[in-house]
Amino acid sequence: MKDVFRGVDRILHCGDVGTLEILDALALIAPVSAAYGNTDRFDIRNRCPRVVRLDCDGRVTVVLHGDQFGMPTPTVLRNEFPDADIILFGHTHKPLIEQHDGGVTVLNPGAAGAVRCSCRPTVALVELADGVAPVARIVELDAAG
């Protein structure tokens, strides 16, 4: 998995982290901002908030698992975070990229760990540049991860 993150400025994790060791390993690659998910134990919940709000190159970015909204949809998330430019969520574990009017990007990277929902392990990469909408893509991880 290290190769897919080569050269990234930041890693955003949408919850269901698993262990603190995973966060620590990711932090060796790049700074990590992570929200906890519904399957995360108290050690993860003590270290990570339910919702992360941060500035990524001048864009309001919200990272959450999303279980607090049942099975979240992009519409629900856009309504909950109307000031966000980028919303990343993970609860459904199904990869999704939607660009909306006003430049809002809603993204679910899927799941990098155990296979869920009959989906292959994936992550998302997002490129940000001044004056253009974020460019996001889903990257399937090979068996070696």
Number of domains the chain is built from: 1
Token pair of 126 as six digits: 């997002």
Whether residue 12 lies inside any domain: the answer is yes
Q: What is the pLDDT of residues 121-134, one digit of tens each?
A: 899 999 998 888 88
48-64 confidence digits (pLDDT tens): 999 999 999 999 999 99
Structural domain contains residue 145: no
Domain of 28, CATH number, reads 3.60.21.10
> What pTM was computed for the model?
0.91
What is the per-residue pLDDT for 10?
96
Is 115 part of a structural domain of the chain?
yes
Domain that holds residue 129: 2-140
pLDDT at position 115 is 63
Q: Are 36 and 44 in contact (CB under 8 A)?
A: yes
- Residue 61, domain member (yes or no): yes
Give the residue ranges of the chain where pLDDT is below 50: 143-145
Of 20, 85, 80, nearest to 46 by C-alpha is 20
Query: Is residue 112 a contact partner of residue 140, using CB atoms and an 8 Å limit?
Result: no
